[in-house]
């Protein structure tokens, strides 16, 4: 019942919408909705007016549409919202409300931003993993604060963590890329707007993404190691690991996923072979297989000793 009372005036406003022209002489319109000043008449809190200092409100940049559309370039047709409300009625919302309980549908929000931002890094937005699950541009971006957190190295990851909580857990593991340290961002490997590669990766493949920074692992080597050429994530996890150097498993187990353990006699025959035993096997102690095969990514060793330095 209370709800009905609350929305009755809105219903009436809608019913008599024709009664409220965009600009009329009766004084019902508080200024031209296309003028920024019209909105500032009522919205003078810093949380709103901070937008005046953003790139979007630059009057010298005609692409912002500030001069022609004012705040409506993002908030859409707000003529009814600007109009004076009579008889304690409810003010109809502006054309687009970006956040809060009365937020407009995602398509309506995204079309506002995409209307001006189509090319560039947002080229692959349509059909991308985020677009497909109705993530809005403003799920990551803010427009009013002077600094949009997602654009800065130090503050980007926490924005992603709001939805990808497991990534925060990974980033806190002993071995991790220096994302929380502010030396890298998720965006160094991913393009959140969409990409031609898998998993929103910046490059076409996992390896091309990694080799952007770890070029020394590219080769070609005299002695290649097949899985390294194929996919770094066969052995490494990109986000964080409890093993050293972002490994998925520790050697020798990592290696024995593929290499027959009988070949190198790496099976413990007795407790004596194990670390701490009387005759610990070199395949099992310390760095395991890496004691000898230290150039696991590929080697140019002239003697041909396999994957050694």
Q: Which of residues 6-45 bind ligand HEC (CB under 6 A)?
A: 30, 33, 36, 38-39, 41-43
- Locate 220 and state its tokens: 């070609």
Identify the residue among 13, 92, 104, 156 touching ligand HEC (CB under 6 A).
156
Q: Pick from 92, 104, 113, 273 the residue near ligand HEC by CB under 6 A.
A: 113
**Partners of 29 in beta bridges:** 83
Q: What part of residues 47-66 is at the interface with ligand HEC (CB under 6 A)? A: 47-48, 51, 55-56, 61, 63-65
Closest CA to 179 of 232, 240, 122: 240
Residue 151 as a binder of ligand HEC (CB under 6 A): the answer is yes
**Residue selected from 99, 107, 154, 275 as contacting ligand HEC according to rule CB under 6 A:** 99
Scanning the structure block, which residue is given the tokens 């590219």?
Answer: 218
Position 179 contacts ligand HEC (CB under 6 A): yes
| DSSP one-letter code for 224 | E
DSSP string, 169-190: HHHTSSB--TTTTTS--GGGTB
Measured from the CB of residue 193, what is the shortest distance to ligand HEC in angstroms?
A: 6
Count of residues touching ligand HEC (by CB under 6 A):
134
x/- string (CB under 6 A) for ligand HEC, residues 246-265? xx---xx-xxxxxx----x-
Q: Hey, which residues between 209 and 248 contact ligand HEC (CB under 6 A)?
A: 209-214, 217, 223, 225-228, 232-239, 245-247
d(CA 300, CA 220): 9
Q: Which residues contact 5 (CB under 8 A, 6 or more apart)?
A: none
Establish if 124 lies at the interface with ligand HEC (CB under 6 A).
no
State the DSSP code for 20.
S
* In the complex, least distance from residue 81 CB atom to ligand HEC, rounded to whole angstroms: 5
What are residue 190's DSSP bridge partners?
A: 201
- In the window 265-304, what residues touch ligand HEC (CB under 6 A)? 266, 282-283, 288-294, 296-297
Distance from C-alpha of 181 to C-alpha of 102, rounded to nearest angstrom: 37
Q: What is the largest CA-CA distance in the chain?
A: 99
Distance of CA 139 to the CA centre of its chain: 10
Q: Which is nearer to ligand HEC, 13 or 251 (CB)?
A: 251
Residue 188: CB minimum distance to ligand HEC, A = 4
Supply the DSSP string of 88-108, one letter for each residue.
TPPPPPPS---SSTTPPPHHH
Pick from 13, 29, 72, 80 the residue near ligand HEC by CB under 6 A. 72
């Amino acid at each position: 019942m209370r709800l009905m009372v609350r929305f009755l005036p809105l219903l009436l406003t809608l019913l008599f919408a024709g009664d409220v022209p965009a600009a009329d002489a009766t004084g019902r319109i508080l200024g031209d909705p296309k003028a920024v000043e019209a909105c500032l008449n009522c919205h003078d809190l810093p949380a709103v007016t901070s937008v005046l200092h953003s790139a979007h409100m630059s009057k010298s940049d005609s692409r912002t549409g500030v001069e022609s559309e004012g705040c409506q370039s993002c908030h859409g047709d707000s003529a009814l919202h600007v109009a004076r409300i009579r008889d304690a009625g409810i003010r109809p919302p502006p054309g687009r409300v970006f956040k809060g309980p009365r937020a407009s549908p995602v398509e309506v929000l995204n079309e506002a931003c995409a209307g001006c931002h189509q090319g560039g890094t947002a080229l692959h937005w349509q059909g991308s993993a985020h677009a497909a699950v109705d993530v809005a541009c403003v799920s990551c971006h803010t427009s009013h604060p002077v600094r949009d957190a997602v654009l800065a190295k130090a503050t980007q990851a926490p924005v992603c963590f709001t939805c990808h909580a497991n990534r925060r857990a990974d980033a806190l593991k002993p071995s991790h890329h220096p994302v929380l340290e502010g030396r890298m961002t998720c965006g160094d490997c991913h393009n959140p707007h969409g990409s031609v590669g898998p998993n929103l990766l910046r490059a076409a493949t996992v390896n091309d993404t990694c080799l952007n920074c770890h070029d020394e692992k590219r080769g070609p080597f005299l002695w290649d190691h097949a899985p390294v050429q194929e996919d770094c994530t066969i052995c490494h996890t990109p986000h964080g690991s409890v093993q050293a150097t972002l490994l998925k498993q520790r050697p020798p187990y990592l290696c024995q996923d593929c290499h027959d353990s009988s070949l190198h006699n790496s099976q413990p025959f007795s407790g004596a072979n194990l670390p701490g035993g009387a005759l610990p096997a070199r395949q099992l102690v310390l760095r395991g297989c890496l004691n000898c095969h230290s150039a696991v990514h590929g080697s140019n060793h002239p003697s041909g000793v396999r994957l050694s330095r």
